[in-house]
Amino acid sequence: MQPGQGTRELRAVLEGYSFLECPRWHDGRLWVSDFYTERVVATDGRGSADATVEVMAEVPGQPSGLGFLPDGRALVVSMRDHRILRREDSGALVEHADLSGAVSGVLNDMLVDGRGRAYVGNFGFDLMGGEPIRYTTLSRVDPDGTVTTVADDLGFPNGMVLLPGGVLVVAETFAGRLSAFDVGEDGALGNRRVWAQFGDTPRTDDVGAALQSLAVAPDGICADAEGAIWVADALNARVIRVREGGEIVEEIPTGLGVFACMLGGDDGRTLFLCAAPSFAEHERRAAREAQLLAARVDVPHAGLP
């Protein structure tokens, strides 16, 4: 790891939320979903004492993944009813796509590419209800709302990045790895390979046993201009910077669980972190302990989101 890793100063940008996820820097503000208040909010990122916060959407089906179409309209994952909603210029939400017939679990994170194609993961099983782990699929939603399954056998597909050059990297939380695909001209995914493997992939369908055996539980991710990926490690209260092949070159401990990250700010060098004491719904739904943290880093943002 780099000398001095773990010494970067963290500051609180937002406090008093339920469970923040899927941060996205867009037009000078950070958008982020708050699961259990069922809101998407945007902030200028200045800090908890001075922050301006605007509610951008209210999503009764629980908001998660966020992205933006080429014309600037936002797409919002509505987890529990398996839909993607589109925020019109008026602020109204309309249905963009219904994935009910294509997925086996609640929807999760999402990446929207430069052509307006949305890549969406799903849990694959009832995580909060205690079901055994089942591997699942990744869906692509085209701008007209057409849904296509583009990958399968994924161990809880979570955060995604699209690297310059057209490589989609997906965090597989319960497989302990980042997997890469080449994106075809038509949006199809091919040439699947492991981009980074963090220890052995658990060989169990028991959630508790899998969590105990994972070296890293990759959740939300974002990419920088050197081709490295920042990974929110959902189990170890840290975010790590990783190079292709799996070398961890920097670690920032947070003191709280960290479940998503995004590079943003005017120069792309502010790393925003979604942090909370835990991820279990029964612990987070009524609590207001989640924070949006930020640290300054050396290498700016690149790729999408």
Q: How far apart are CA 246 and CA 229, in angstroms?
A: 10
Q: What is the pLDDT of residue 7?
A: 76
Quick check: is 271 in a domain? yes
CA atoms within 13 A on the CB side of 119: 28
Confidence of residue 70 (pLDDT cuts 50, 70, 90): very high
Paired with 163 in beta bridges are 167
Sign of dihedral through CA atoms 16, 60, 120, 132?
positive
Give the β-pairing of 74-78 and 63-68.
Answer: antiparallel
The number of folded domains in the chain is 1
**Does residue 66 lie within any of the structural domains?**
yes
Peptide bond connecting 305 to the previous residue in cis, omega within 30 degrees of 0: yes
Identify whether 301 is part of a domain.
no
Beta bridge partners of 79: none
Q: CA-CA distance, 10 to 28, in Å (whole number)?
A: 20
C-beta of residue 210 within 8 angstroms of C-beta of residue 216: no
Task: Calculate mean pLDDT across residues 213-218.
Answer: 97
> Is pLDDT above 50 for 4?
no
- The reply to whether 166 falls in a domain is yes
Residue-number span of the structural domain to which 37 is assigned: 11-296
Cβ atoms 280, 289 nearer than 8 A: no
Q: Is the pLDDT of residue 6 over 70?
A: no
In this structure, what CATH number is given to the domain that contains residue 192? 2.120.10.30
The letter for the amino acid at 264 is: G
In a domain, 92, yes or no: yes
Helix, strand, coil % over all residues of the chain, rounded to 5: 5, 50, 45
Residue 5 lies in a domain: no
Which residue bears the tokens 């259990």?
36
Per-residue pLDDT tens digits for 247-295: 999 999 999 999 999 999 999 999 999 999 998 899 999 999 999 999 9
Query: What pLDDT shows up at residue 48?
Result: 60
Q: Give the pLDDT of residue 29.
A: 97
Residue type, 183: V
What is the per-residue pLDDT for 32? 98
Residue-averaged pLDDT of the chain: 95
| Six token digits for residue 262 | 């995004």
Name the percent of the chain lying above pLDDT 90.
92
pLDDT for residue 130: 86
* pLDDT per residue as tens digits for the range 227-250: 999 999 999 999 999 999 999 999
Residues 276, 289 contacting (CB under 8 angstroms): yes
Token pair recorded at residue 225: 């201009």
Residue 1 forms part of a structural domain:
no
For residue 278, being part of any structural domain is answered with yes
As separate numbers, helices (DSSP H) first and strands (DSSP E) second, the chain gives 2, 24
Residue 3 has pLDDT above 50, yes or no: no
